[in-house]
Chain A
């Protein structure tokens, strides 16, 4: 199947080391626009693709935690300042030791929810409308894939050659790249 923007190509791998070779070969050839799928997170794949670059999720976590800490201080402080009669034990109206638990809990709560939001944004979830080439059910079992959703037609043969050369057990393009479950 060819789309206006290019051709779908998929290489299926049965072995992790072959997949890693495939990723290295594509990077060496300067070919971009591919997606790797794996049944589990492997640090070797992460290292080969991202070369130690951390996920931006950490910024969501930091901003969420700092926001939570601030909210945890301001909420009790401002409400107590508005209603200063509640002053058990002669404590000051704004008292850090007695607000520490609220500040801690808000840091965890808002930091955690912000991390979840960051994960949703950066993983692209919910991804219910992904192209069919990425909906290969063999990935959850024991297969790894490298897929091109819209490779330039001029590069198809070169890409297929690289995928086969790295040890892909199956290389398909066009409509054949969409896997249908037998007898489903």
Chain B
């Protein structure tokens, strides 16, 4: 890695880091307003489509016999996967003291929270009768009815709820000292609001002592969630006796896919943010290249997994398993499989060339392809196995309706709405941790 990128990540003083990072806050630009209006419009349209579904019933969606898991489950898995990179960067890279994490982890964590908030909409959308959502959760009731804790769907409720709660707490705790910085650079009502959000933080020795201890424990708690959450999501599929799903390969395959798509999404979100906010000293090629390397590693694992699925189907001599993988490749919806392979296995290969891995245009364009490819991967898994189940008399093709496409668009709007709000109200780069990369001011020496 070129030293100029590492050094560029160091502001001259603590005060310079404060000034640079909080400068774009609370001052909406034309670009930001345009993006915010667009995101809100998409969100409102998605809400309208949901209203249509609630009014007219699930018939307006394309999910019907034999495919009852369609775009809603596909998009649920997609958004949960997006969230994983944030936790990987904020927790695992914190525990291994990775230095490039500092510039990108705050925005990645925010991405995690908003991606999981988006994913959480989809069980409700998929349920149809959204007013009965509370049935998901264990609560004492007069009928003494409890949910089945042996079901992977129930495990998923616990996994996603825990993931969302711990990620939110971790995100908020990390923000507390930074919100105190915004407070002390503000006046009037804004100062009072940030003081409440920062819980009156003053950076005393007592506060830092317990804060740092707690932060380490949060990282230690969040780290295994990176691996467990998408493993549990994969069991929604792998624990069922459905051809194309029933495989022990699924947990590592899903986790690798989640990190792959999440790291690509961090590039997609942070690159324009860094350009617009002039944060090149804090988020730059060093970070994008490190993320691209993570993508290359996980793309390799995915490619191996795709190949291994076919090998297992052949080696198992199971005709149902063999047929589903044959049909995914050359059946009516072969192009879903082809899009997945091109976007996830072939296009990212350009990042093996260092110059292209450091080219911002190529980085951004490839990251978009990865996001598209990962959505198609989930569509390839979800829709195919139920379209071609064990009994040929039930076979039918699944394709989303306008309402489902509208809700998919709305989910992107909902995610962007929150991310844009975050970008303008909270420090998008972790100021306190950036300061830790600055040489402390000393008169003599710290060597005692």
Contacts and interface: CB of A to CB of B under 8 A. Distances in A.
Contact of A118 (B138, B196, B210): B210
Interface in B1-35: 13-15, 18
B169 interface: yes
B381 to A, nearest CB: 21
B442 A140 contact: no
Interface stretch (B57-65, B160-168, B403-411, B415-423): B160-168
Contacts of A50: 209
Interface in B304-330: none
Given A39-B435, A41-B208, A123-B207, A88 B148 contact: yes
Contact of B158 (A35, A91, A106): A106
Interface stretch (A4-12, A25-33, A72-80, A157-165): A72-80
A167 B210 contact: no
A73 to B, nearest CB: 11
B159 to A, nearest CB: 6
Interface residues of A, number: 70
B139 to A, nearest CB: 11
B213 A55 contact: yes
A18 interface: yes
Interface string B220-234: 011011001000100
A141 B221 contact: no
Contacts of A130: 200, 202
Contacts of A150: none
Given A75-B138, A102-B155, A184-B187, A82 B202 contact: no
B208 A142 contact: no
B206 A16 contact: no
Given A36-B205, A116-B173, A91 B150 contact: yes
A134 B208 contact: no
Contacts of A18: 443
A40 B436 contact: yes
Given A105-B162, A141-B15, A57 B213 contact: yes
Given A112-B169, A127-B202, A16 B225 contact: no
Contacts of A95: 150
Interface in B205-259: 205-214, 217-218, 221-222, 224-225, 228, 232
Interface class of chain A by DSSP: helix
A182 interface: no
Contact of A44 (B13, B155, B202, B446): B446
Nearest to A120: B199
Contacts of A79: 138, 146, 149
Nearest to A53: B209
Contact of B165 (A20, A89, A99, A109): A109
Interface in A86-138: 86, 88-89, 91, 95, 98-99, 101-102, 104-106, 108-109, 111-113, 115-116, 118-119, 122-130, 134-135, 137
B408 to A, nearest CB: 28
Contacts of A111: 217, 221
Nearest to B156: A101
Nearest to A111: B221
A102 B155 CA distance: 6
A122 B207 CA distance: 7
Contacts of B196: 126, 128
Contacts of A58: 213, 217
A180 interface: no
A98 B150 contact: yes
Nearest to B186: A137
Interface of B: 13-15, 18, 138, 144-146, 148-151, 154-155, 158-159, 161-162, 165-166, 169, 173, 176-177, 180-181, 184-185, 187, 195-196, 199-214, 217-218, 221-222, 224-225, 228, 232, 432, 435-436, 440-446
> Across chains A and B, which 5 residue pairs bring their CB atoms closest together, nearest first?
A76-B149, A119-B214, A55-B213, A122-B210, A79-B146
8 contacts: A46-B209, A46-B212, A54-B213, A56-B210, A57-B213, A75-B149, A119-B210, A142-B441
Given A105-B158, A112-B217, A124-B204, 4 more contacts: A35-B206, A40-B432, A46-B209, A116-B214
